[in-house]
Structures are given as C-alpha cells and as structure tokens.
Amino acid sequence: MPVLALTVAAPDANLELVLKVMPALVVLLITAAVCGRLALLVMQPRVLGEMVAGVLLGPTLFGWLFPEAQAALFPPEVRPILYVLSTIGLTLYMFLVGAGIDHTSRTPGEVRKAAVLATSGIVPSLLLGFGAGLLLHSLLSRPDVPPFQFALFVGGALSLTAFPMLARILYERGLENTPIGRLTLLAASIDDALAWCLLAILSAMHLGTGTSSALLTIGLTATFALVMLKVVAPMLRPLGRSVARTGRLGPTGVYVVILVPLTAGWLTDWIGVYAVFGGFFAGLAMPRDPKFREVLHGRMMEIVSTLLLPTFFTFSGLNTQLGGIAGGSMLLAFGLILLAGFCGKYFGCSLAMRWIGFGRREAYAVGALMNARGLMILIFINIGLAQGMITQELFSMLVLVAVLTTAGALPLYKLALPERLERSATAAPPVPATADVRSNSS
C-alpha cells in the first residue's frame, strides 16, 4: 500500500522579509508621530521629535531597556531595507525643497550675500573646531590618526548646518521663500557641500588614495551641478508649462519628477558627495512656475515627510550610541567641542548678516537657524567612524552636539524674532549692504 508523503513548501524568503520589515515600519512611524507631537508641545519643530525618536529606538534607550525586543524588531536583514528607504526619502525631500525655492523673486546680490553667510558659517567653526581637535588629540583620537587629520575632521563636522532639518523648519513656518529663508537655505547648501568635499579629502588622506581622488570628486560635483542647471533645467520647462496650463501632473509627469531626483541622487552617490545634493540640484532644475510647485508639493510632500523621512531618522538612530561620555576629562572635552561649535556658527553667521545689511533681530535669528546641525553631522561622523577616523567617544560627543544645537535653534530663533515681528521682518527686503546697519536694528 503506497505511503502518502506530506511535503511542506519551502518558506518564502521574500515574504519572511516583508513580515519583518512591516512591524519595524509600524513601530518607527508610531514612535515618530508621538515624539513629533511632543516636540510641538514644547515649541520645538516636529522634525526634532522625529530625530529623537530615531535615537530612542536605537541602542540608547530601547536597546538598553529591551535588548531582545530591539534585536527582534530591527534584525540585521531589515536594516539594509531601512537604509534604502531612508536614502530615497531624504533624496526626494531635498528634491522638493529645491523645487520649492522661488528664484524669480530674488533680491539683487542674493547669491553674493549667501556666499558671505556661508563663509562666515564655515570658517569660524572650522578654525575653532580645528583648535579644539589639536588640544584633544591625545585624549580622543585613535593612535593611527595624525593630529592634523583629527583636528580637521572635528572642524569639518562642526562646520556643517542641518540642511534638511533647516529646510523643514522653514517649511513648517512658511518662511522658505522669504528673503532670510532663501538666503539661509542657499548658504546652508554651500556649507554642507564644502563640508562633504572636505570629508572626501579627509577620506582620501586617511585611506591613502591620495588628494587626486578628492580633487576628482570635487570636479565631478561641480560638473554635475552645471549640467543639472544648464542642460536638464531647459529640458524640463515644457513640463512646467503643461502643468501650469492643465493644473495637473499626469502619469508621464509623475515618472519624470520621480526619476530625475533618484537618478541625480544615484549619480552624486557615485561621485561621493551623498544623494541629498543630487536630489536638491534636481529640485533646482525643476520648472519655476508657481502652479507647478503647488501641484508637485501636493502630490509628493505628505508621503515623503510622513513615511520616508522618519525611516531615515530611525536608521540613523540605530547606529547612534550615547554611552561614550564619562568622567571629568571627557565632560570638559565635550564642553570645549560644544562651545567651539556653537560660537563659530552662531556668532559668525550673526555678524555676517549684520555686515551684509540685515537688522539685529534678523541676524541673530539666522545665526540660530544656521547653528542647527541635525542629522547631517550624524551622517558625517558615521562615515568617519566606519572608516576608522574617529573613536566611539568622539562620535558620542558629536551626537550630543547635534541634538543640543538643533534643539536650541528654534528657541533662539523665536527669542531673536518673535512671531509678532516675524512676518514684517521676513517679508521686507534687507537694506543695501552699504547702508548704516544701525538704521535697520529692531
């Protein structure tokens, strides 16, 4: 009599992966929503709450209190999926930021003023950070990293501005197209682009590939930006006219506005300056029609900011540990780094704003915004940690610098520019740089 053999189907690996990714997304979105709401209740931008949520889901709190649950929720095979989603999210968000900038209402000399503001944000922070790095080399550096490289890395990390977070703060307050909003965004983009070029040089020096590799990266980045603005932008103008005429973004248009930033992000990642800049320049290349910007943001902004950005924050939080500070010497070292980072950005940018013709209140408001570092510094230092340029202790200190400077940005901004003065101050163009700056003080 034949024996009936029961066969069990082999498990579907893809289905198993989906069943692991979905709970992780559910938990991170709920946590981001709760922390974002709590941030608003304490008069902080929602994005800071989402950033803190990502850190809390990592080893800092969740992994410390419930290590088995955290390992089950975010197993190693899930993290690459979160990385892909987070990179797509940040690239698309910065694409929307670039597309939303109104170039048609620029004030005369805005690019020059943005360059002055960017320089004032980079140079003082870089110099103060470099000095702090030289003083702390023996305490915090790896033995195989020379003092010059270590100090330059600290200065480069402190010279960053939280470009995506700054953009989100401005969007939440409706300031992205005000004079100080456009100026701050443009200056922050210059700051971060130069910081990434510096990181490319440091990586080349540390890995022994030579400065020629870093110079090639910088040259390719400049070429990419030129092609996007001078070649791709004119090709996209018919799309803008079509949307302005019909009031809708059809299926072909949706393909275009998805493919252009993703391709640009892929190219800049390949170049070595991170996908966020590819997304931003893709946005700058989009048509300038107001109706096009309105339709584009209506189709994409909510899903990007609600699903994909919290994924980026959580992935970064999973790689963040805040247990590296202990003892008097470490606390003093952290205080020195925090002081160097805060003073370099805040006072450097504030003084530059006064010099180019803005009033006292606007100057300190922009200094506060430019001082936020957010997750751009976390990306920067994660690369440094992965390449063996910095220790876990310095990494932890710079994480705290990111959290504290970002948390202080909006309160300092509101202190300098309360809501009753914000609209009138941001709507009016600044006085000419040659005028007496005292006449524009508030």
Inside any domain, residue 317? yes
Environment class of residue 61 by beta-carbon count within 10 Å: exposed (0-12), middle (13-18) or buried (19+)?
Answer: middle
Inside any domain, residue 197? yes
Inside any domain, residue 9? no
Kind and range of the H or E run holding 223: helix 211-227
Average pLDDT over residues 41-53: 81
Locate 383 and state its tokens.
């690369």
Contact 95, 261 (CB under 8 A): yes
Inside any domain, residue 296? yes
With tokens 């220790």, the residue in question is 391
What's the pLDDT score for residue 105?
A: 53
Using pLDDT thresholds of 50, 70 and 90, give the confidence band for residue 435.
Answer: very low
For 222-276, the pLDDT digits (tens) are: 899 899 989 999 999 999 889 888 888 888 889 999 999 999 999 988 887 777 7
What's the pLDDT score for residue 303?
A: 83
Residue 436 vs residues 331, 367, 426: alpha-carbon distances, Å = 43, 20, 19
For 296-326, the pLDDT digits (tens) are: 888 888 888 888 888 888 887 787 777 667 6
Inside any domain, residue 51? no
Using pLDDT thresholds of 50, 70 and 90, give the confidence band for residue 108.
Answer: low
Contact 400, 338 (CB under 8 A): yes
Q: At what angle do helices 360-370 and 392-416 cross, to 10 degrees?
A: 160
Contact 170, 181 (CB under 8 A): yes
Average pLDDT over residues 137-152: 89
Tell me which residue range forms the domain holding 347.
83-431
Looking at residue 249, its amino acid is: L
The pTM for the full model equals 0.73
Inside any domain, residue 319? yes
With tokens 């248009």, the residue in question is 253
We report the CATH number of the domain holding residue 159 as: 1.20.1530.20
Task: Kindly give the residue spans of alpha helices, DSSP state H, lying in 101-161.
Answer: 110-140, 147-158
CA distance 332 to 183: 35
pLDDT above 50: residue 98: yes
Average pLDDT, the chain: 81
Looking at residue 279, its amino acid is: G
Inside any domain, residue 191? yes
Average pLDDT over residues 44-60: 82
For 156-210, the pLDDT digits (tens) are: 999 888 776 777 677 777 777 777 788 888 888 788 777 777 877 777 676 655 5
Total structural domains within the chain: 1
For 67-96, the pLDDT digits (tens) are: 899 889 999 899 889 888 988 988 898 888
Inside any domain, residue 186? yes
